[in-house]
Structure 1
Amino acid sequence: MDTVSPPAPVEAAVPAARPNAVGRRTVLCISERGAGATATAWAVEYARRHDRTLTLAHVIDPQTNDDAHPATQAEVDAATELLETTAEHVRYQVKTLSVTVHVSNGDVHDEILRLSGPQTVLVFGAPAASELSHARNSLGITLASTAYGPVAVIPAPDEQVRHGVMAAVDGSETATRAALFAASEASLLGLDLRVVSVWSEPPIWQETFIDSRTHNELVLRNGAVLNAATDGIRLAYPSLTVTGVLRHADTVQALLAEARSASLLVIGSRQEHGIRRLLLGSTSHGVLASLPAPTIVIGPPSAT
């Protein structure tokens, strides 16, 4: 049985971001109130499929305590015991999987960044459907704009019949990376891949009449972006069934509609530096706020 990682000292200040603190190829599943079992099951399967280690983590944030004081050692120990119970169950179910637990005390965002690195996959459970109006402020959305590596946000289960993997492309390097990531997942899962490109007229044209020649030129230009993406994927994954879909619509609403029956959605996020890094792009934020399917956000290559 794996040795349980000892909790960090409760008095210690949160260190500066330090990549790869839990291992270079770790799935880090973050325990949040009301969003545990589904995300944990997803993280277990992802770690097993990719031959990665799994860390079940919980951060006790003083700001969320009623008295705004750091948690006591007894509270850290109690949280560790709860996570270790889950870890024992996972170890029994998937005997080949290495599972550890990590409980610490401090700012949740800073501590998770400290633990993770460019190859760490962060997994969060989304609020239940009745609480989706609060999803805009969830930790998963915040970290999707700042994490070193991929971030998976997993919704509560529903009755939707799901099939296939979907990726969104727009011609950017980050979207291309996301589409290739989606292709890799589809290949491992034995599922088809649907690549969706959504376009609309530039804002300055949206209130004016566009002649058919200009409209056709926009269709051809955006179709070329989609074809380039699907051709690249077929070259890299020749045995994968890839379908391209071009939509002329509002980007967020079209992606939500297309992804509603997907087993997995992969989107890119153009992370920024400084204060702008705290915000996701409007498309990725809009998708995560409604979360039509299990979604993985891929940022640009990390400089870390």
Structure 2
Amino acid sequence: MSGTYLIGVDGSEQSRVALAWGLARAGERGAAVELLHVADDSFLSESVAFLSEAQQASEQMLAAETEYARSLGFTGKISGSAVVGHPIAEIEEASRHADLLVLGAHGGGRLAGSFFGTRAVKAAATAHCPVAVIPKDDVRRDSTVVVGVDGSDASKKAIAFAAEEASFRGLPLVAVYAWMPPLTPGLEYLWSEELVESQRAAAEEAIAIGVAGLASRYPDLEIRREIVQAPPVAALVQAAEGADLLVVGSRGRGGISRLLLGSVSHGVLQALPCPVIVTRA
């Protein structure tokens, strides 16, 4: 993957970790980088003077982060946009022309103009390209690439993305399918061995279909299959502890529901055990 990486910046420690991650990846892939700073106008006066001052501050932030990016040794193409507006709307529009959106993870909205934390979840739901959310304490682990499998078209996109990533990095691909028996409180005693076996068989079939064809496309790729009887979010978070990357799919539903991520992708972004990429269906 080359193309253009859109990286959100706000000068904070969290966003600089994400910036470093995005620049390193762009350097490996020969991608151009576009930095984006959004000054949130939600609480600003609508007067021309206030908006002009906010625009000037946004441009100063962009210039400082561009200089910082160069100080990290990135020699590729860097462009940038400094805008005043609604962060999620501005990110969504900018993502139309990007191949990957990279955001840092904040614990909350402590910084003016910041569009991270829970906003990263909203950005992942509305963006038109895959979204990478990077934890504050990210370190390059070079261990595994983990991907969630559930048999859906969204997970097929995630598997394809994760397989290419793992092959490029020379890392094992860990495909995780998590399943739970039907939960009917008070009636657990009705679970039969046949029911459990059918659930397990369905899981094995889904993961086999999900990784089918990868061995011929990536002959040197090591593929590990993990079928786990556990809630999906818990299973993925555990598998991704110490991983280099976790990839999950988003169904990308239309209408107002596009503002919502599925429970699994939302859950892993909240836990963020390692860098997480949410792919588009």
Q: Same fold (TM over 0.5)?
A: yes
TM-score scaled by structure 1?
0.81
CA positional deviation for 1:79: 2.8
Kept in 2, the 8 Å contact 1:53–1:99? The answer is yes
Give 1:148's aligned residue. Answer: 128
Q: CA RMSD in A?
A: 2.7
Give the superposition deviation at 1:243: 0.6
Say whether residues 1:121 and 2:100 are aligned partners: yes
Give, in angstroms, the shift of residue 233 of structure 1: 2.0
> Which runs of 5 or more residues in structure 1 are unaligned?
1-23
- Which piece of structure 1 moves more, 150-159 or 252-261? 150-159
Taking the TM superposition and a 5 Å limit, the aligned residue runs for 1:259-298 are 259-298=240-279
**In the alignment, does 2:4 pair up with 1:26?**
yes
Match of 2:88 among 102, 109, 128: 109
Among the aligned pairs, what percent are the same residue? 31
User: How far apart, CA to CA, are the structure 2 residues paired with 1:56 and 1:234?
Assistant: 37
Amino acid across the alignment from 2:88 = H
Q: Which residues in structure 2 correspond to 1:240-255 (within 5 Å)?
A: 240-255=221-236
Amino acid at match of 2:18: A
Deviation at 1:72, TM superposition (A): 3.3
Equivalent residue of 1:157, what SS? coil
Which of 213, 224, 232 is matched with 2:213 structurally? Answer: 232
Structure 1 residues 285 and 99, CA, compared in 2 at 3 Å: closer, same or farther?
same
Change in Cα spacing, 1:79 to 1:225, as seen in structure 2 (3 Å) is same
Is 1:193 aligned to residue 173 of structure 2?
yes
- Label 1:206 to 1:162 Cα distance change in 2 as closer, same or farther (>3 A): farther
**Is it true that 1:138 corresponds to 2:118 in the alignment?**
yes
Please give the per-residue CA displacement for 1:159-185, whole angstroms capped at 9, x wherever unaligned: 896621111111111101101101111
Q: Distance in 2 between matches of 1:164 and 1:64?
A: 43
Q: Tell me the TM-score normalized by structure 2.
A: 0.87
Bigger shift: 139-148 or 33-42? 33-42
Tell me, what secondary structure is at the counterpart of 2:224? strand
Contact 1:136–1:289 (CA under 8 A) maintained in structure 2: no
| Code of the aligned partner of 2:176 | V
- Tell me which amino acid in the other structure corresponds to 1:245: E
| Change in 2 beyond 3 A, CA 1:93/1:175 | same
The gaps in structure 2 that reach 5 residues or longer are: none
Q: Is the 8 A contact 2:105 2:136 kept in 1?
A: yes
Of stretches 173-182 and 229-238 in structure 1, the one that deviates more from structure 2 is 229-238
